Amino acid sequence: MESMRLPSRFIFFLFLLFASFFWVFPDMAMAQATTDPVEVKALNRVFQQWTLVAPLNEWNISGEPCSGVALSMTSIDEANGNPYIRCNCFYDNGSTCHITKLKIRVLNVVGSIPEELWSLSYLTYLNLGLNLLTGSISAQIGKLSSLQYLYLNGNAFSGKLPSEIGNLYELLEVRFAENNFSGSLPHSLGNLSKLQELCFSSSGISGAIPSSYANLTDLNILRASDCNLTGSIPDFIGNWMKLTELRLQGNSFAGPIPSTFSKLTSLNELKVSDLSTGISTLEFLADMRNLTTLVLRNNNIHGTIPPYISSNKKLKHLDLSFNNLNGSIPDSIFTLVSLSYLFLGSNKLSGALPSKKSTFLAYIDVSYNNLSGNFPSWVKENNSNFVANYFTAESSNGGDLPSGWICLQRPFPCRDTGVSNSFAINSGGPLVKSSDGTLFEGDYNNDIGPASFSVSETKRWALSNVGIFTDGTNYKFTHSNSNAILNMSDLALFQTTRMSASSLRYYGLGLQNGNYTVNLGFVETAFPDDSQWTSRGRRLFDIYIQIVLGNLIYLFRLIQGDFDVKGL
């Protein structure tokens, strides 16, 4: 008897029909699968302790967790619901489901991590970011051996990072930034050879970067700013040639910038600042062509600005301020069509400003240099800062410069006029008379931006502002506080404040010679102390007061470093 054979096209059709049924109706295809009871108990304990509930009609926490959208194939990052889980029900021939992803993000969850969470040993993704979680991270985290994505950022965790994190060999991304950790980086993190992203800015971590991290050659992103990292920046970072983003700002590193950085030609973003010692140059930039953001502020960089910086045709943000650069500014930088922000202030640059610039170059800071010559026609009050140079009244084109601008040029010709012996300013706010009768002049110029200065209507004072807030697009340079500030006299003085991303200076114009008392008033209004995760933010800054030695020597004396407004 001859066997029957189905046409191959018909077999292919049946296969597609079966596959469609399986993927479109996963609940039916996995109707017999149940969640591991150990994981059900653990998940319920976590939700009970953190007083969480599953999104209504999306998945079931009280019965079978691995149901509904928990079986979805879409990315958990794209899911609108929160908290969320994802399950894999292909274990034990399709009879067992394991929880593989857990997201509890931006829910202002308070408390410590329940020990039961570490029983979810099949997790590949754990996101607890942007909450108010406290306590230490248990060594039991080492049980999550399948974990690929670990996000603990934006909480209030404390203590040392457990070395057991280094046993999670599958990790691709780790974020524990914005926390209260202490101690140094675990050497064991150098075991994570698959790691592509490591972020621990503002985490409380201190000490040197361990030599074992030389193994992290797959890294694409390293964000390690606002820590107390010490020692030299390791040369081996230059071997992380897959890096596209490197942030090492606001630490206690010794210089110089390693010459091995010249090999990081895939970088799109490079931010290094505040190197305490050593002399750096810009030679390592010669072969970089892909930069969009280059910030090398306050690194004791010497030499001239090389023209090859303009080879980065996608460069949008260039900041070389607070260094020791000399010579002229290459004209090619001003005509780079991609460039929007240029900060070259507080160097020793000389020569004239170019007559032309790109129309896309929105903000220019060249303050505190040795520039001279004529003002080009593009110089505007609200988008360029050229205070403390050697421009003269004859160099002005009579354009949009503010009245009194000459007082802010070296050698500060208004300083001996003796117009007044006091002034008071309500920073960012309107005219206010305080309880003791002091009249605080209003500082409400809305044109103050990333690179600008202003002279008051009374000509008694001026201000200069430099810097942009790079992690957001809503650049606000004043902050209004509608909430009452308890235990604060003269509340009207603190309802509106001025914001600055880098440097905010106030100048007294025409003060009489003599000794002065300087009173500064601060209050935290941007990061209120409440139950929101945003209250975890903080603002640290240095306070300087200018002193004069002789006729032309101007020094800025550090009154207090790393001043924390919240610490008042």
Q: Where residue 260 falls among pLDDT bands split at 50, 70, 90?
A: very high
Q: Where residue 5 falls among pLDDT bands split at 50, 70, 90?
A: very low
pLDDT tens sequence across 130-184: 999 999 999 999 999 999 999 999 999 999 999 999 999 999 999 999 999 999 9
Of 162-166, 210-214, 426-430, the one with minimum mean pLDDT is 426-430
Asked if residue 11 has pLDDT above 50, the reply is no
Residue 90: the pLDDT is 94
Residue 16: the pLDDT is 40
pTM for the model stands at 0.89
CA angle, 534 as apex, 222 and 161 as ends, to 5°?
45
Residue 392: the pLDDT is 84
Asked if residue 536 has pLDDT above 80, the reply is no
Residue-range domain boundaries for the chain: 257-397, 413-524
Specify whether the CB–CB gap between 415 and 396 falls below 8 A.
no
- Compute the average pLDDT of residues 61-74: 86
Q: Partners of 452 in the beta sheet?
A: 465
Residue 146: the pLDDT is 98
Buried b (16+ CB within 10 A) or exposed e, 27-44: eebbeebbbbeebbebbe
Domain 257-397 has CATH 3.80.10.10: yes
pLDDT tens sequence across 314-339: 999 999 999 999 999 999 999 999 99
Q: Partners of 540 in the beta sheet?
A: 564
Pick from 234, 466, 197: which is nearest to 347 by CA?
Answer: 466
Pairs from 377-383 (Cβ < 8 Å, separation ≥ 24)? 379/353, 381/447, 381/452, 381/453, 381/454, 382/447, 382/448, 382/449, 382/452, 383/449, 383/451, 383/452
- Compute the average pLDDT of residues 219-237: 97
- Omega of the bond prior to 256 within 30 degrees of 0, cis? yes
Neighbours of 444 (CB within 10 A): 15
Percent residues over pLDDT 70 in the chain: 85
Residue 471: the pLDDT is 66
Residue type (1 letter), 259 = S
Alpha helices in 336-442 (DSSP H): none
**Beta strand residue intervals within 81-219, DSSP E:** 84-91, 96-103, 110-111, 125-127, 132-133, 149-151, 158-159, 173-175, 180-181, 197-199, 206-207
Residue 518: the pLDDT is 87
The Cβ-side half-sphere exposure at 231, using a 13 Å CA radius, reads 11
- For residues 238 and 484, the model is more confident at 238
Residue 329: the pLDDT is 97
Torsion angle, alpha carbons of 206, 207, 212, 213, to 10: 50
- Compute the average pLDDT of residues 254-277: 97
Residue 455 CA to chain centroid, in angstroms? Answer: 31
Specify whether the CB–CB gap between 32 and 94 falls below 8 A.
yes
- For residues 224 and 446, the model is more confident at 224
Residue 30: the pLDDT is 45
pLDDT tens sequence across 369-416: 999 998 888 887 678 999 999 998 776 665 567 777 888 988 888 776
- Compute the average pLDDT of residues 466-470: 86
Asked if residue 343 has pLDDT above 70, the reply is yes
Distance CA(232)–CA(374), nearest Å, equals 43
